[in-house]
């Protein structure tokens, strides 16, 4: 591909539209410098246009076969790889994320697109169920019944700031919605408009190269909540994917519920990702655990959804060693740019809240960041189990590299702690051989609170695969019945339909007697490829 | 079992509680006579008690194995069969439904319970997915990841009036929630309290016989929305199953969304179940179709969720024959008792609305019902396609045996008609060999509007099996991503959880390497029993 020339335009189907509702620019969080070009903000008009095109496109796009959509996702991946150089440069400039991590995130993003391609080629995602007719059944004959899953319709995707590639324009929500057969309208995150435009143009090129209708993809820019609200309220939009703040997610959910026809909102909102250091594991290797914890805490300058914001451990000499080790690692961690000045300000406020809390003690702080505009300085604090239980404000997420180590008097208090927690994306248990009984007691309690439970590891680093769950009870997500990472994410954008006594010539692919697609399905209650 | 003595008490776990917030009785809709005993109404206190017991029970009930829960469902079925005589008598007395249909509904109810028992014994419902570790993967090793589905928590079930067995205390919502591992708290429908008590006592006996904690099941009585609102607002209740009016369903959904922690509401609310008589099918057998239509229309005195309330056909001589045949059948249909006086009044108002509409003509009315207290008299009307498109009030459900035949000028208007329709549980297409092309055009449009599409049959008669979908886009249900009938209904009460590097001794059943349950699952992206 030739180099992408950034224009500041929205991509509305095949049209370039420079928004007329004001302008904004990206900004380098390392220097505070405004970045070219200027971006034009859209409003209701562009939402209307994009939604109209998306609905038109839906009628044919949803009928495309698995191979067509898989090849489309592969093309998006290839188009992104073809602009790796300028894309990586722009992401680094707009977000301050270090280049190796950006390259890793790009690899994850393209492999995610190809993973959904494999899901489509495999084909079992349609959830086919067939019950052959039983004309002689008493008291009533059984009709021929065939069930499959079909896509919901156009999906509004809100790009996240903290994963400018993997959870943004061509991220997990977009990949899973396109895989399901749903056109996508992305509202770009305003902290990385150039990244969004580069990725958006790569998707749009793939739409054209695949011969798909232009409305399969649009990219809009909007400031504040106005454009996003209009998008969620549009009758042609049928589901929402969002990763961001709790306030933002709840506002979209309220808009979606107030529509004449409500729609599902898959909003990932906040998570503190508690870590439980059980006594055996802690005394086995307190120093190593302390260092490894800080590595997880500071990954991405602490701005990952699965950042470990709370650590629970029984007061003990081993815990002191853990804290000393963690403190040394924190002190040795240089400040790094955060994603934006507003995220940096919110982080500083959260750190101040900890620092000013009478029951919270500082343990260590990382290197200062005088030379960085939006500097994220790592912080570690401690408090007690009773203080934690007494004050819900200590349960809240501080988005960034700050964590609170909670000293518990006795392991018997852990179930009470777990019960007091809000819903989380993850929980982590460090358990040695001596801790298995206690871990077994905690596990069922944690299952009620989280979407993923990690043993003897760290919550950051979400593997994109078939068995991942990146979701969890409210408020970690608005709808805890799903995942936003991994192949199960496709189910968010599907619903079942049954056909009774369907004439054979009208039978959709995958529901035919011969199973020409060779997919896994359920036939008369039995699973197989028959 | 010994005969059930009705006491008018609520069943709160193992306790009998006569509510102290007023009383009510059942009523025979055939005679208007109040039925003994008097029932005591509950309030917030009993909701608290039932929810507390349910939450306590959930912790152990959700951990029971498939065989335990299957045997429990089988016991409920057997206990219901053991009281067949008195149960059938009471249903007939409280609802006016004819005895043969009540017996059929009981058979359906017990077979539904046993069907979910088979789902549990088969075991694949947990949706196991395993990704073995890849320690040598670059750039990062893959951890061991295992995913399964776990139950949400206690479920509030609101009994429906029109299926006093199959959609009530031991109906589909209860069966699927109990199968999923969720305790159930039923708010009985006030039109069949005696039926509810008999069924409730059968379930409670099964709880005890199965050695399960008492809180697995409770049965409450409440008038108006107060008790139901308290139930949906209780923090220990984690999902709602409801079948009833649109207003009722929306009120519960609003309560659920306003909770500190919102929960899913599976509300089946209203459906007019359009029938499309395509020209070839209509001219092939207009007379037979007319008679068969009225059989479907009048089944259950028209009070089935899938009652065919709208019929679309191109104006033609064959349509006149259809209407004559249908009119003859309607005229020959005697009045029958409706489920309650309030349903009967609402039905009469709906019929009056049709009769008073300037663009609606009466076709026929059934036999009068002077001797019946809540008499449902069958009515058939016609209107034109343009009148239908012009007036949304003609799209609304009239709950009961009234239907509107819409005369279309030309088959080319059908897509426009479909697009104007609200979401529906079902749509029906009568298509002859000559209609296949037209049917093929309508099918994708109807898929966007409904949960089940029937060919050359009638929407009433919902087969309870593996491939059924009884659900559909809003407003036919509040959440069109699911079904309330058939085995897929279990998924409403589940959510996925992933385990990363789980120690082998803590591995839940179904996620073990050996697959000792022998369930169908996904291993490294491939489906099978490995």
Strand B184-187 to B217-220 pairing: parallel
The widest CA-to-CA distance across chain A, in whole angstroms, is: 82
Assess contact for A267 and A478: CB atoms under 8 A.
yes
For residue A11, what are its two tokens? 């991509």
Find out whether A200 and A217 touch, Cβ atoms under 8 Å: yes
For chain A positions 168-187, those within 8 Å of chain B (CB to CB) are: none
What are φ and ψ of residue B274, in 5° steps? Answer: -60, 145
Q: Is the dihedral of CA B352, B250, B340, B76 positive or negative?
A: positive
CB B519 within 8 A of CB B126: yes
What's the CA gap between B50 and B58, in Å, rounded?
12
Euclidean distance between CA atoms B401 and B294, whole angstroms: 9
Chain A touched by B258 (CB under 8 Å): no
Letter string b/e over residues A389-409, b meaning 16 or more CB atoms within 10 A of that residue's CB: beeeebbebbbbbbbbbbbbe
- Token pair belonging to A135: 């004309």
Distance CA A57, CA A241 (A): 19
d(CA B7, CA B17): 10
**Helix, strand, coil fractions of chain B, as percent rounded to 5:** 40, 20, 35
Annotate A279-340 with DSSP letters as a single string: HHHHHHSHHHHHHHHHHHHHGGGG-STT---EEEEE-SHHHHHHHHHHHHHHHTPPPEE-S-
Place of tokens 């199953």: B241
Q: In three state form, how does the secondary structure of B443-496 look?
A: HHHHHCCEEEEEECCCCCCCCCCCCCCCCCCCCCECCCCCCCCCHHHHHHHEEE
Share of chain B above pLDDT 90, in %: 97
Give start and end residues of each alpha helix (H) in B338-451: 341-356, 385-390, 414-420, 436-447
Mutate to test the interface with B, among A481, A508, A520, A521 (most CBs of B within 10 A): A481
Q: Which residue among A140, A488, A500 places its CB closest to the CB of B452?
A: A500
Identify the CATH homologous superfamily for domain A10-31+66-269+483-491: Aldehyde Dehydrogenase; Chain A, domain 1 (3.40.605.10)
Whole-angstrom distance between the N-terminal and C-terminal Cα of chain A? 44
Q: Do A479 and B264 touch (CB under 8 A)?
A: yes
Helix (H, G, I), strand (E, B) or coil at B341: helix
Q: Cβ atoms within 10 A of the Cβ of A104, count?
A: 16
Predicted confidence (pLDDT) per residue in A156-201, tens digit: 999 999 999 999 999 999 999 999 999 999 999 999 999 999 999 9
CB within 8 Å: A463 and B262: no
Alpha-carbon distance B216 to B203, whole Å?
10
Question: In this complex, is the C-beta atom of A469 within 8 Å of any C-beta atom belonging to chain B?
Answer: yes
pLDDT the model gives residue B182:
98
Q: Which two tokens stand for residue B364?
A: 């026929």
Positions of B annotated as catalytic residues are 268, 305
Cβ distance of A463 and B131 shorter than 8 Å? yes
State how far the Cα of B167 lies from the Cα of B485, in Å rounded to an integer. Answer: 9
User: Do residues B292 and B458 touch, judged by C-beta distance below 8 A?
Assistant: yes
Ranges of beta strands (E only) in A177-309 are 184-187, 217-220, 239-243, 265-268, 274-277
Q: What span, in angstroms and rounded, lies between the C-alpha atoms of B269 and B250?
A: 8
Of A137-141, A291-295, B274-278, least confident by mean pLDDT is A137-141
* CA pseudo-torsion sign A516, A517, A523, A528: positive
Chain B nearest-CA residue for A473: B261
Render pLDDT for A325-345 as a digit per residue (tens, 0 to 9): 999 999 999 999 999 999 999
- A414: pLDDT confidence band, cut at 50, 70 and 90? very high
**Closest-CA residue to A150 (of B525, B422, B445, B526):** B445
Taking the Cβ of residue B237 and every Cβ of chain A, the question of whether any pair is shorter than 8 Å is answered with no
Q: How far is B24 from chain A (nearest CA, A)?
A: 35
Over residues B154-158, the mean pLDDT reads: 98
CA-based nearest distance A141→chain B, Å = 10
Bridge partners for A12 per DSSP: A15, A218
What pLDDT does residue A2 have? 57
Measured CA to CA, the distance from residue A69 to residue B503 in angstroms comes to 38
Residue-level pLDDT at A441: 96
The pLDDT of residue A39 is 98
Q: Could you check whether A10-31+66-269+483-491 and A274-455 share the same CATH topology?
A: no
Q: For B170-207, b where at least 16 C-beta lie within 10 A, e where not — what string?
A: bbbbbbbbbbbbbbbbbbbbbbbbbbbbbbbbbbbbbb
Q: What is the CATH number that goes with domain B274-455?
A: 3.40.309.10
Rounded Cα distance between B380 and B358, Å, is: 15
Would you state the pLDDT for residue A57?
98
pLDDT confidence tier of residue A224, bands split at 50, 70 and 90:
confident
When the pLDDT of each residue in chain A is averaged and rounded to a whole number, the result is 97
What's the CA dihedral at A470, A472, A475, A480 to 10 degrees?
Answer: 110
Residue A424, chain B, CB below 8 Å: the answer is no
CB atoms near residue B295 (< 10 Å): 12
- Spatial distance between the Cα atoms of B197 and B257, rounded to a whole number of angstroms: 30
What ipTM score was computed for the predicted complex, to two decimals?
A: 0.97
Alpha-carbon gap, residue A503 to B442, rounded angstroms:
13
Burial class (CB in 10 A: 0-12, 13-18, 19+), B430: buried
Output the average pLDDT for chain B. 97
Q: What is the DSSP letter of B381?
A: E
Query: Which pLDDT score, from 0 to 100, does residue B291 have?
Result: 98
Fold of domain B10-269+482-492: Aldehyde Dehydrogenase; Chain A, domain 1 (3.40.605)
In terms of Cα–Cα distance, which of B199, B189, B258, B266 is closest to B228? B189
Helix (H, G, I), strand (E, B) or coil at B40: strand
In chain A, what are the helix, strand and coil shares in percent, each to the nearest 5?
40, 20, 40
Q: Does any CB of chain A come closer than 8 Å to the CB of residue B477?
A: no
Assess B452–A contact: CB distance below 8 Å, yes or no. Answer: yes
B84-95 and B66-82 are packed helices; what angle lies between their axes, rounded to 10 degrees? 70
In chain A, positions 108-137, which contact chain B (CB-CB < 8 Å)?
A: 118, 122, 124, 129-131
Neighbours of B252 (CB within 10 A): 26
Helix residue ranges, H only, B66-224: 66-82, 84-95, 99-122, 172-180, 193-209
Q: Please report the pLDDT score of residue B4 as a whole number.
A: 78
Task: Return the half-sphere exposure (C-beta side, CA atoms, 13 A cut-off) of residue A384.
Answer: 7
Give the span between the Cα atoms of B57 and B50, in whole angstroms.
Answer: 10
Give the nearest chain A residue to B487 (CA atoms).
A525
Chain A residues in contact with B152 (beta carbon < 8 A): 481
Domain boundaries, chain A: 10-31+66-269+483-491, 274-455
Pairwise CA distance, residues B417 & B385, whole Å:
8
Give the tens place of pLDDT for each residue, B469-503: 999 999 999 999 999 999 999 999 999 999 999 99
Helix orientation angle between B193-209 and B84-95, rounded to the nearest 10 degrees: 150
CA gap A174, A168 in Å, rounded: 8
State the pLDDT confidence band at B530, using cuts at 50, 70 and 90: confident
| pLDDT band with cut points at 50, 70 and 90 for residue B370 | confident
CA distance A472 to B496: 8
Average pLDDT over residues B89-118: 97
Share of chain A above pLDDT 90, in %: 97
The Cα B210–Cα B120 span in angstroms is: 16
Q: Which ranges of A62-184 does DSSP label H, i.e. alpha helix?
A: 66-82, 84-95, 99-122, 172-180
The catalytic residue positions of A are 268, 305
A450 touching B (Cβ < 8 Å):
yes
* Beta-carbon count within 10 A of A370 CB: 7
What pLDDT does A96 receive?
95
Tens-digit pLDDT profile for residues B345-368: 999 999 999 999 999 999 999 999
pLDDT at position B2, please? 57
What is the pLDDT averaged over residues A431-435? Answer: 96
Asked whether residue B320 carries a pLDDT value surpassing 70, the answer given is yes
CB spacing of A436 vs B463 below 8 angstroms: no
Look at residues A12, A439, A395 and name the one whose alpha carbon lies nearest to residue A184: A12
Answer yes or no: are the C-beta atoms of A259 and A274 closer than 8 Å: no
Ordered strands of the B129-131 beta sheet: A361-365, A379-384, A402-408, A310-314, A274-277, A424-430, A450-455, B494-500, B145-151, B129-131, B521-523, B526-528
């Amino acid at each position: 591909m030739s180099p992408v020339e950034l224009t500041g335009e929205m991509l509305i189907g095949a049209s370039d539209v420079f928004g007329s509702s004001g302008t904004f620019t990206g900004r380098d969080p390392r220097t505070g410098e405004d970045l070219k070009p200027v971006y034009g903000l859209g409003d209701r008009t562009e939402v209307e246009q994009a939604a109209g095109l998306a609905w038109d496109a839906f009628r044919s796009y949803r009928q495309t076969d698995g191979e067509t959509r898989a090849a489309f996702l592969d093309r998006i991946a290839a188009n992104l790889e073809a602009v790796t150089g300028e894309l990586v440069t722009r992401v680094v400039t707009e977000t301050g994320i270090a280049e190796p991590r950006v390259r890793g995130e790009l690899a994850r993003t393209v492999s995610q697109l190809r993973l959904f391609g494999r899901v489509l080629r495999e084909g079992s995602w349609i959830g086919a169920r067939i019950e052959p007719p039983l004309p002689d059944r008493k008291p009533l004959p059984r009709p021929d019944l065939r069930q499959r899953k079909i896509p919901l319709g156009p999906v509004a995707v809100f790009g996240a700031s903290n994963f400018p590639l993997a959870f943004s324009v061509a991220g997990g929500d977009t990949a899973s919605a396109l895989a399901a057969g749903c056109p996508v309208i992305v509202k770009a995150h305003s902290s990385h408009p150039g990244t969004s435009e580069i990725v958006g143009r790569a998707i749009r090129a793939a739409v054209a190269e695949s011969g798909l209708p232009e409305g399969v993809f649009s990219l809009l820019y909007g400031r504040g909540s106005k454009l996003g609200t209009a998008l969620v309220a549009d009758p042609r939009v049928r589901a929402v994917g969002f990763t961001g703040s709790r306030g933002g997610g709840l506002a979209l959910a309220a808009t979606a519920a107030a529509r004449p026809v409500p729609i599902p909102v898959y909003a990932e909102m906040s998570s503190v990702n508690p870590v439980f250091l059980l006594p055996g594991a802690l005394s086995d290797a307190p120093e190593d655990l302390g260092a490894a914890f800080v590595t997880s805490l500071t990954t991405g300058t602490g701005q990952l959804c699965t950042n470990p914001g709370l650590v629970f451990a029984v007061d003990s000499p081993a815990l002191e060693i853990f804290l000393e080790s963690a403190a040394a690692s924190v002190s040795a961690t240089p400040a790094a740019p955060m994603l934006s000045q507003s995220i940096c300000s919110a982080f500083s406020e959260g750190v101040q809240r900890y620092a000013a809390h009478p029951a919270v003690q500082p343990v260590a702080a990382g290197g200062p960041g005088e030379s960085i505009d939006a500097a994220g300085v790592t912080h570690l604090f401690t408090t007690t189990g009773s203080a934690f239980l007494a004050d819900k404000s200590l349960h809240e997420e501080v988005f960034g590299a700050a964590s609170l180590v909670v000293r518990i008097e006795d392991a018997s208090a852990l179930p009470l702690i777990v019960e007091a927690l809000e819903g989380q994306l993850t929980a982590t248990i460090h358990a040695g051989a001596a801790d298995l009984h206690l871990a077994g007691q905690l596990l069922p309690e944690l299952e009620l609170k989280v979407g993923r439970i990690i043993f003897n590891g760290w919550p950051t680093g979400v593997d994109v695969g078939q068995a991942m769950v990146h979701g969890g009870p409210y408020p970690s997500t608005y709808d805890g019945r799903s995942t936003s990472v991994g192949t199960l994410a496709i189910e968010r954008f599907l619903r079942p339909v049954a056909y009774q006594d369907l004439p054979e010539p009208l039978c959709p692919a995958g529901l035919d007697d011969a199973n020409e697609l060779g997919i896994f399905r359920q036939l008369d209650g039995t699973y197989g490829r028959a």
